[in-house]
Amino acid sequence: MSIKKAGLIALSLIVLSTLLTAGCVAPSSTRRHNEVTLKPGTAEQQVEAFTNLGAARLMQGDLAGALSELSKAEKLNPNNVEVLSYLGLTYYSRKDFDKAIEYYQKALTLDPSRSEVHNNLGLVYMERKEYDLAKTQFEFCLKDPTYSKPYLPQFNLGLIEEAQERFEEAIKIYRQIIISSPQYAPPFFRLGRISYVKGDYRQAVDFLLNAVRLNTNYTEAYFLLAETYEKLDLKDEAAESYGQVVVLAPNTALALEAQMRARKVLGYQ
């Protein structure tokens, strides 16, 4: 695996199942992500109910359902920033990046101070490899003293450095995040991947063990940890880590690959 390929892998990790890990955030107001029974009420109450339903569908991975509910809310109030933000997030998750940008820009026209929307818009530009535009959005967030999760746009800036093969800059950013936000697992994973590609397998193990300690459901980190153990000829440890992938992501292509590799490591094929 080349270092260039490892850097670009970062972008493929930004999918719905890893929205929070990848640095994507929902609109700032707190919502109940559970079922809501619609009742007659004011237009404002109906917008809130449809938005609650849309948010719930989105978190469940039902993108068509989320779009349906949020579109109803938009029809009732086309200038609701939260509705527009959720629509942007839904289109982003559908990989309809043009529509995602359209809705994020609408939201920011109404309220340009929404740092979480700037962050999410930056992710769309990053997916499109429009890195300068993406950096502008992330840097806006870092200048906002009220933004509660500055490590998210900072991490995204690290991904851009990786994608552009500026690995030392990426390492510097990830290490800064580890110091300021030591409970955030993704920088450990990225540092582990960079170390793996460089052939520093023992250091990679250290980083990856920290990643899975902080996030016990970190499937990608367990898979890379298993690959790293293989490089160190630690067969039992590799098989155990592959097993964690199977447990965490059953019935997936990654789990099937992990199962096959575990059998090979243990000499069963």
Give the tens place of pLDDT for each residue, 176-210: 999 999 999 999 999 999 999 999 999 999 999 99
Give the tens place of pLDDT for each residue, 239-266: 999 999 999 999 999 999 999 999 999 8
Q: Report how far apart, in Å, the C-alpha atoms of 209 and of each of 5, 167, 170, 218, 229 are.
A: 22, 21, 20, 11, 11
The SS3 of residue 60 is coil
Q: For residue 153, which of 168, 167, 137, 165 has the smallest C-alpha distance?
A: 137
Integer Cα distance of 105 and 133 in angstroms: 13
Residue 96 exposed, middle or buried by CB count within 10 Å (0-12, 13-18, 19+): middle
Q: For the domain with range 3-200, which CATH number is right: 1.10.10.10, 3.20.20.60, 3.20.20.10, 1.25.40.10? A: 1.25.40.10
Q: Which two tokens stand for residue 27?
A: 């609109």
Give the tens place of pLDDT for each residue, 63-116: 999 999 999 999 999 999 999 999 999 999 999 999 999 999 999 999 999 999
Q: Residues spanned by CATH 1.25.40.10 within the chain?
A: 3-200, 201-269
Give me the CATH code for the 201-269 domain, please.
Answer: 1.25.40.10
Sign of the dihedral through C-alpha 141, 127, 11, 64: positive
